[in-house]
């Protein structure tokens, strides 16, 4: 037995892998396998329909069921997901936001059903809607209603699950969307303060102190070592100081982390192995600011979802850090460094200024301000890469092939259409088996609780026990909070995307008119927003549809707006179905000639099928702005 395997010393952080595959039964097998291979915590990835409040049989879920995570619609799915896993000892992180109250309620209902004391439950619901509105996009209700639901989850968690982290304020996606180190710290801590201010007067002092201590964070760690080391130290020093100043409570800063994905490249993906390993240093090297849990992406993240081999390598990378480097055997190795301490102080000062300004502006205004800021930051990042000012090895420098090893055959991804059909049939059976009167009563109680600012979480638990589903929970709350919210473009339209794109000149002097949209439910819009800015800078008119639209709606908007071309973004793996559905809808509307261009993480082997569907151009990670704009011009003037 190795020394590491036989050691009784408590590991210095929790090793996680982010996992969710197809249906609950398949995901349960992966969970149990990961636990057997050394993982200590579960990090649940939900598919986009679940994240966005749709059942697997909803029209908007078509093509995306089980594709980027596990599909969970009801209590029966939750039973399957945690079959053979002891909830009393598990540490379960759920990356869920808009529907976080519902997934938390399903977890409580399962614990109650098994006779597990709620006070023993350990885990995290991300429950951070601020970053959803500015960076991730899986929102359902408008900001104030979403904020109310986040607040309700915190109140319930403090009351029923004292070992649970009800909110995991997420700086990670802010940095992925272009935020600087100080902006990540400032806006992540600001989001936590907004929530704590909202619950402070709604609970006794002792309970509020518990709520302050229960707030956790999910942070980013990049390869820029000194700024990132300073950032993590700034987080750990500033959060206790702010809470002591504002609330008279001094909590320990607690955080999980995933290293930065933005700098992982599709070109020479083997180099990402080095990037990922180095990016661990800032969050592991500072003993005084070490994160409590770490998960690493697959090194081919820019090309598709991680397979078993990539997940194993991510696990092994952490195990090397934990068992071979000896990093946990020493006190803080950066304490006293003049360089690090100076950078940390500067980061703290800048973050404090951001927090002070945000508290003056308020929650809603902060969403607008931050959306515009991230648009400018991401535009600057892409421009720096394209100009060569920022070096990315294998992308704009040192471009000769690595040729370390042959590409492994990709793991076969779940068949989303087949899973969707199976889940649709299963949902029909689930609904047929429940007591319709108990379901109606529970639904009415849920609506009343939301309308009267009552206990939405316990009402959700009761609805789960009565057989309610994810989509039904969402629809019930729309009766109180209104229809699904659609976010604006969210970029500073006075900002310049980049300087090198030549003005567009179409015959007759007319302007190019382009519709940009994300079909399906994926909410990552960074690249699409930048394309909107670039096209506008070049003189085009942009019809911004954004994320969360059915193919039929995209086609109808394109025809009614009289655009010259449609630009579709796809990151969820549903590109084949999306392309076919949009082309079919255009055919039905009498506009089969309207050109469609696609961008996103689309494997090269899928390009022929997309072109057969009528997609005229396809762009992946690393595509440069001039070539994308030129492609739209060609598409608009062809024939």
What residue ranges do the domains of the chain occupy?
507-637
Residue 493: predicted pLDDT: 38
**Separation of alpha carbons 51 and 138, rounded Å:** 6
**Separation of alpha carbons 43 and 92, rounded Å:** 6
Can you tell me which residue has the tokens 């979403």? 146
| Phi, psi of 478, rounded to the nearest 5 degrees | -65, -25
Work out the pLDDT band at 262, boundaries 50, 70, 90.
confident
pLDDT(495) > 50: no
CA atoms within 13 A on the CB side of 97: 23
Work out the pLDDT band at 311, boundaries 50, 70, 90.
confident
pLDDT(134) > 50: yes
Angle at 79 between CA 105 and CA 149, to 5 degrees: 15
Q: Which of 37-41, 115-119, 225-229, 346-350 has the lowest mean pLDDT?
A: 37-41
Q: Which of 28-37, 147-156, 325-334 has the lowest mean pLDDT?
A: 28-37
CA atoms within 13 A on the CB side of 248: 4
Q: Round to the nearest angstrom and report the end-to-end CA distance of the chain.
A: 70
Query: Looking at per-residue confidence, does 571 or 401 come out higher?
Result: 401
Residue 523: predicted pLDDT: 67
Residue 8: predicted pLDDT: 47
Query: Looking at per-residue confidence, does 605 or 202 come out higher?
Result: 202
Q: Please give the structure tokens belonging to residue 249.
A: 């409570």
Between the CA atoms of 250, 251, 257 and 263, what dihedral angle is there, to the nearest 10 degrees? -20
Residue 407: predicted pLDDT: 47
**Separation of alpha carbons 335 and 203, rounded Å:** 38
Work out the pLDDT band at 527, boundaries 50, 70, 90.
confident
**Contacts (Cβ under 8 Å, ≥6 apart) of 82:** 28, 31, 90, 92, 110
pTM of the model: 0.85
Pairing of strands 615-619, 596-600: parallel
pLDDT(403) > 70: no
Q: Per-residue pLDDT averaged across 617-637, rounded?
A: 85
Residue 58 contacts residue 471 (beta carbons within 8 Å): yes
Q: Per-residue pLDDT averaged across 589-601, rounded?
A: 90
Residue 492: predicted pLDDT: 44
**Separation of alpha carbons 165 and 292, rounded Å:** 13
pLDDT(245) > 80: yes
Query: Looking at per-residue confidence, does 154 or 300 come out higher?
Result: 154
Residue 63 contacts residue 71 (beta carbons within 8 Å): no
pLDDT(454) > 70: yes
Residue 35: predicted pLDDT: 78
Residue-wise pLDDT for 147-194, tens only, equals: 999 999 999 999 999 999 999 999 999 999 999 999 999 999 999 999
For 507-637, the fitting CATH number among 3.40.50.280, 3.10.105.10, 3.10.420.10, 3.40.50.300 is 3.40.50.280
Percent of the chain with pLDDT over 70: 91
Residue 518: predicted pLDDT: 80
Query: Looking at per-residue confidence, does 630 or 9 come out higher?
Result: 630
| Cα 373–chain centre separation | 19
**Contacts (Cβ under 8 Å, ≥6 apart) of 337:** none
User: Residues in the chain, how many?
Assistant: 639
Residue-wise pLDDT for 551-577, tens only, equals: 898 999 999 999 999 998 876 667 888
Query: Looking at per-residue confidence, does 497 or 432 come out higher?
Result: 432
Residue 40: predicted pLDDT: 67
Nearest Cα to Cα of residue 46 among 18, 25, 74: 18
Q: Per-residue pLDDT averaged across 301-314, rounded?
A: 80
pLDDT(413) > 60: no
- Helix boundaries (H) for 280-415: 281-285, 308-323, 338-361, 363-387
**Separation of alpha carbons 42 and 25, rounded Å:** 15
Cα R_g (the chain), whole angstroms: 24
Average pLDDT of the chain, as a whole number = 88
Percent of the chain with pLDDT over 90: 59
Residue 179 contacts residue 374 (beta carbons within 8 Å): yes
**Separation of alpha carbons 553 and 501, rounded Å:** 30
Q: Per-residue pLDDT averaged across 222-240, rounded?
A: 97
pLDDT(431) > 50: yes
Residue-wise pLDDT for 344-399, tens only, equals: 999 999 999 999 999 999 999 999 999 889 888 888 888 888 888 999 898 888 88
pLDDT(461) > 70: yes
Residue 494: predicted pLDDT: 39
**Separation of alpha carbons 541 and 563, rounded Å:** 9
Residue-wise pLDDT for 264-299, tens only, equals: 998 899 999 999 999 999 999 989 999 998 989 889
Between the CA atoms of 567, 569, 570 and 575, what dihedral angle is there, to the nearest 10 degrees? 0
Work out the pLDDT band at 533, boundaries 50, 70, 90.
confident
């Amino acid at each position: 037995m190795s020394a590491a395997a036989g050691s009784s010393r408590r590991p210095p952080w929790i090793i996680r892998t982010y996992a969710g595959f197809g249906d609950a039964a398949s995901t349960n097998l992966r969970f149990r396998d990961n636990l057997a291979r050394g993982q200590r915590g579960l990090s649940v990835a939900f598919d986009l329909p679940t994240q966005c409040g749709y059942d697997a049989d909803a029209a908007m879920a078509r093509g995306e069921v089980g594709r980027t995570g596990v599909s969970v619609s009801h209590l029966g799915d939750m039973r399957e997901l945690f079959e053979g896993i002891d909830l009393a000892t598990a540490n379960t992180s759920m990356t869920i936001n808009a529907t976080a109250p519902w997934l938390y309620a399903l977890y409580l209902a399962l614990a109650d059903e098994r006779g597990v004391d709620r006070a023993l439950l350990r885990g995290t619901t991300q429950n951070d809607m601020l970053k959803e509105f500015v960076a991730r996009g899986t929102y359902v209700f408008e900001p104030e209603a979403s904020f109310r639901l986040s607040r309700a989850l915190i109140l319930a968690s403090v009351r029923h699950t004292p070992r649970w982290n009800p909110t995991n304020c997420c700086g990670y996606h802010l940095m992925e969307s272009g935020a600087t180190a100080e902006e990540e710290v400032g806006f992540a801590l600001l989001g936590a303060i907004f929530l704590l201010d909202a619950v402070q007067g709604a609970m006794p002092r002792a309970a509020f102190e518990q709520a302050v201590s229960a707030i956790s964070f999910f942070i980013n760690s990049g390869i820029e070592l000194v700024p990132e080391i300073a950032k993590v130290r700034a987080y750990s020093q500033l959060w206790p100081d702010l809470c002591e100043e504002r609330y008279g409570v001094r909590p320990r800063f607690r955080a999980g982390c995933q290293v930065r994905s933005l700098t992982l490249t599709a070109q020479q993906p083997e180099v990402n192995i080095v990037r990922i390993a180095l990016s661990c240093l800032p969050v592991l090297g500072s003993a005084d600011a070490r994160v409590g849990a770490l998960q690493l992406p697959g090194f081919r993240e820019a090309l598709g979802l991680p397979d078993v081999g990539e997940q194993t390598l991510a696990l092994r990378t952490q195990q090397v850090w934990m068992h071979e480097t000896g990093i946990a055997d020493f006190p803080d190795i950066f304490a006293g460094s003049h360089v690090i301490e100076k950078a940390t102080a500067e980061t703290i000062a800048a973050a404090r200024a951001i927090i002070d300004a945000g508290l003056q502006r308020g929650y809603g205004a902060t969403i607008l301000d931050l959306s515009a800021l991230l648009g400018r930051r991401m535009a600057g990042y892409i421009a720096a890469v394209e100009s060569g000012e920022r070096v990315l090895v294998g992308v704009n420098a040192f471009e000769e092939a690595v040729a370390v090893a042959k590409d492994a055959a990709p793991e076969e991804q779940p068949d989303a259409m087949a899973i969707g059909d199976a889940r649709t049939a299963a949902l029909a059976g689930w609904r047929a088996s429940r007591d319709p009167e108990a379901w109606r009563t529970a639904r009415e109680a849920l609506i009343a609780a939301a309308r009267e600012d009552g206990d939405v979480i316990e009402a959700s638990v009761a609805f789960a026990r009565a057989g309610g589903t994810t989509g039904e929970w969402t629809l019930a709350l729309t009766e109180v909070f209104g229809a699904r919210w659609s976010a604006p473009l969210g970029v500073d339209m006075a900002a310049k995307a980049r300087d090198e794109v030549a003005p567009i000149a179409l015959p007759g002097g007319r302007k190019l008119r382009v519709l940009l949209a994300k079909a399906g439910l994926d909410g990552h819009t960074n690249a699409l927003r930048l394309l909107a800015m670039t096209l506008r800078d070049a003189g085009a008119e942009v019809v911004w549809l954004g994320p969360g639209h059915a193919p039929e709606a995209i086609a109808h908007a394109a025809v009614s707006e009289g655009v010259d071309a449609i630009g579709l973004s796809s990151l969820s793996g549903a590109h084949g179905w999306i392309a076919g559905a949009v082309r079919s809808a255009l055919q039905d509307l009498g506009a089969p000639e309207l050109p469609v261009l696609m961008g996103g993480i689309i494997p090269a082997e899928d390009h022929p099928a997309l072109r057969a569907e009528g997609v005229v151009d396809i762009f992946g990670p690393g595509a440069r702005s001039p070539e994308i704009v030129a492609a739209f011009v060609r598409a608009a003037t062809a024939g």
